[in-house]
Amino acid sequence: MKKVLIASQLSLLLIGLLFSCKHMPEEFVEEPFIGGPPTSSIVCDEDSIYFQQQILPLFASSCAITDCHDQASHEDGIILDSYSNIISTGDIEGGNPNAGDIMEVITENDPDDVMPPDPYPPLSGDEIQMIEDWILQGALQNSCDALLCDTVEVTFSGDIMPLIGTFCEGCHSGSNAGGDILLNDYDDVFAIGESGSLWGSINWSDYFANMPQNSSKLTDCQIRMFEIWLDNGMPND
C-alpha cells in the first residue's frame, strides 16, 4: 500500500512538471533595433555614421537655426531639429539618398538655392558625404560611446577644431553668427576660450547660454577634451 501511494505521488509530480514545461513561455527574442530610441551602449564603429553624435549636431548647427528650419521658422514646412522631424519633414528614406530634397539642396551649385543659405557657410564635402553615408546605412536613430573622443593627447587641430566644426561652427560663422560670436579659426576659439564663455557654455553653467544649441550636451569625454586644452593654455597645435 505504501509503495502504491509513493508511486501515485511520483506520477502526480511528473504530470505537474510536464504540464509546467508545456506551458512555459517561449524564449524572448529581441527584435533588431530600427529607428527607435537612440542607444549608447555600443562602442563606435569607425565605418558607421551615428545620428546622435554626428548627424543631429550637424543639422542643429547648420539647418535648425533661426529663420531656417527650427521649430519657429520651419521654412517650407521642414523642421530639422530632431530625428522624427528630420525623417518626416525632410522626406528621408533609409537607403535612398535621392528621396526627398535634402541631398539635392546641400549639393546645389546655385547660390540662391543651396542650403545652408548665404551668409551661412555651405557644408563641407566631408559633411555632405557623412549625411549621404548615414542615409545609405539606413538613416537610423543610432548612437554609440566614445565617438570623436580621445583624451590621451588633445590638440587644437586634431580634436578641438573638429568638435567646434561639428557642434558649433554652423551657428557661429558668417555675417549672422549667433550672438555675434565667430568660431571660424584658432583666433576666434582662443578669444572665446580666454573669456570663459566657451567653458561656461559647453558645461551648461548658470548665466551662460547652453551650447550646442538645440542639441544634446557634449559628452563628459568631449567636455574633458576642452578642459585639457584650456588647462594647457589653449595651444595652437
How do residues 185-210 score in pLDDT, each as one tens digit?
899 999 999 999 999 999 999 888 88
Q: Check pLDDT > 80 for residue 18.
A: no
Percent of the chain with pLDDT over 70: 75
Quick one: pLDDT at residue 11? 45
Higher pLDDT, 76 or 32: 76
What nine digits make up the cell of 225? 577634451
Confidence of residue 37 (pLDDT cuts 50, 70, 90): very low
Q: Check pLDDT > 50 for residue 225.
A: yes
**Which residues, 6 or more positions from 148, have their beta carbon under 8 angstroms from its beta carbon?**
53, 159, 162, 163, 166, 222
Q: What is the arithmetic mean of pLDDT over 80-104?
A: 88
Q: Check pLDDT > 70 for residue 4.
A: no
Q: Check pLDDT > 70 for residue 39.
A: no
Q: Name the nearest CA neighbour of 33 among 46, 52, 47.
A: 52
What nine digits make up the cell of 128? 555632405
Alpha carbon 210 to chain centroid, angstroms: 17
Confidence of residue 147 (pLDDT cuts 50, 70, 90): low
State the DSSP string of 147-173: TT---SS--IIIIIHHHHHHHTTTTSS
Task: Enumerate the β-bridge partners of residue 93.
Answer: 96
- Locate cell 502526480: which residue? 12
pTM for this predicted structure: 0.59
The answer to whether the beta carbons of residues 71 and 77 sit under 8 Å apart is no
Quick one: pLDDT at residue 73? 63
Quick one: pLDDT at residue 146? 57
Quick one: pLDDT at residue 125? 87
Quick one: pLDDT at residue 135? 94
Task: Enumerate the β-bridge partners of residue 43.
Answer: 145
Q: What is the arithmetic mean of pLDDT over 80-106?
A: 88
**Which residues, 6 or more positions from 10, have their beta carbon under 8 angstroms from its beta carbon?**
none
Task: Enumerate the β-bridge partners of residue 145.
Answer: 43
What nine digits make up the cell of 108? 546645389
Checking 104-110 for CB contacts under 8 A at 24+ apart, the result is 106/131
